[in-house]
Amino acid sequence: MKRLIAIVLERSLLLLAGTVLALAWANLAPHSYSAYSEATRFVVNDGAMVFFFALAAKEIVEATRPGGALASWREAAVPLLAACGGMIVPAALYVGAGLALGRPELHRGWAIPCATDIAFSYLAARIIFPHRHPAIPFLLLLAVADDALGLILLAIFYPASHVAPLAFALLLAPAIAVAWFLRRRAVASFWPYVVGAGGLSWAAFYAGGLHPALSLVPIVPFMPCQERYHELFDEHTTAPTDTLNAFASWWHTPVQFVLFLFGLTNAGVPLSSVGAVTWMVAGSLVLGKPIGVLLLTAIAVAAGLKRPAGFTYADAAIVGLTAGIGFTVALFFATAAFPPGLALDEAKMGALFSFVAAPLAILAARLAGSTRRARPPART
């Protein structure tokens, strides 16, 4: 039983459970589901999801530490450029589809197919590639960079309401000051950062018209962190006990239940709500991600940058296809881009349909033989 619970938590299966339950509820009892969703949307999306985005920010912070994937531009350049390609091409395909359909009012959702669900993409990559294959860290770096750029897009292009820069700045400044003071005093507990600095930051985002779910993102970098990088998702090593990793360890399980509530609150759409936006989102993710990742990888190599040893162009295409699973972040972007209504429901279905990228990536890997090639020995 403990092993089963561990698998459910580690593989974010609670999110899937919440999504399936939401779909069933919304189609069997739409009125009661609508009442539930309306009652819980603010608490879940602008409150509980704070910790999901904080864990994403933690991965970004750690990746910049010595030994991390973002520590050296030479190590990070190709996957970072690939991440940009994996956002630019899907967005361009989405906008192009809107223009072709004569539906410019749908352009507001252009950032939805930029999303990559890091957890499910990673799980798909673990199924496809053997342990220590260079495609796995390449995908993780791409997904972390995608998350970082996605947070920027969300803050700039999808404010929660009318943006009030002065109110935002006046409240965020003391939040940063409190976080800096705590870091300066080497406060080891993460709670003062979350409650004190994080509370002020949440008020700043809310009053400033930005998404409060991002409120811990500027606070997380102030939490004391070890100097050496701890490999993302690596179950073969013992996680460090510094403040940042203690925060991540404590919140890992609660965030899985947050994701369950997020799926339950946001994924309930009528199965009949498949329309133009559905195919625009799903198609842009499943087609645009591999094209963008492969194209920018090839351009980066042609410009003189180096791919990781043992990482082929076929691997780049498969990684891009795996990154086409938008799910969680795509759902969040959809709720930010569109008001409740048909367009939002269609966009959510597109985010759900992006799961088709996983079996397509597995099939492509089988055909390319990527599942049989292990990572070459590290060069000294």
List pLDDT tens digits, range 329-341.
898 899 889 998 9
Q: In this predicted structure, what is the pLDDT of residue 238?
A: 58
C-alpha–C-alpha distance, residues 10 and 27, integer Å: 29
CA distance linking residue 201 with residue 77, whole number of Å: 32
**Can you tell me the mean pLDDT for 62-87?**
79
**pLDDT higher than 60, residue 20:** yes
What burial class does residue 129 get, using C-beta atoms within 10 Å of its C-beta: 0-12 exposed, 13-18 middle, 19+ buried? buried
Give percent above pLDDT 90 in the chain.
53
Confidence band, pLDDT 50/70/90 cuts, at residue 372: very low
pLDDT at 70: 58
In the prediction, which pLDDT does 141 show?
A: 80
| CA–CA distance, 316 with 334 (Å, rounded to integer) | 27
Alpha helices in 303-370, H assignment, sequence order: 313-322, 327-337, 342-353, 357-368
Quote the pLDDT of residue 231. Answer: 53
Residue range 152-175, pLDDT digits in tens: 888 788 877 677 889 999 999 999
125-139, 220-234, 302-316: least confidently modelled range? 220-234
pLDDT score of 295: 97
Region of residue 233 (phi > 0: left; psi between -120 and 50: alpha; otherwise: beta): left
State yes or no: pLDDT of 131 exceeds 80.
Answer: no
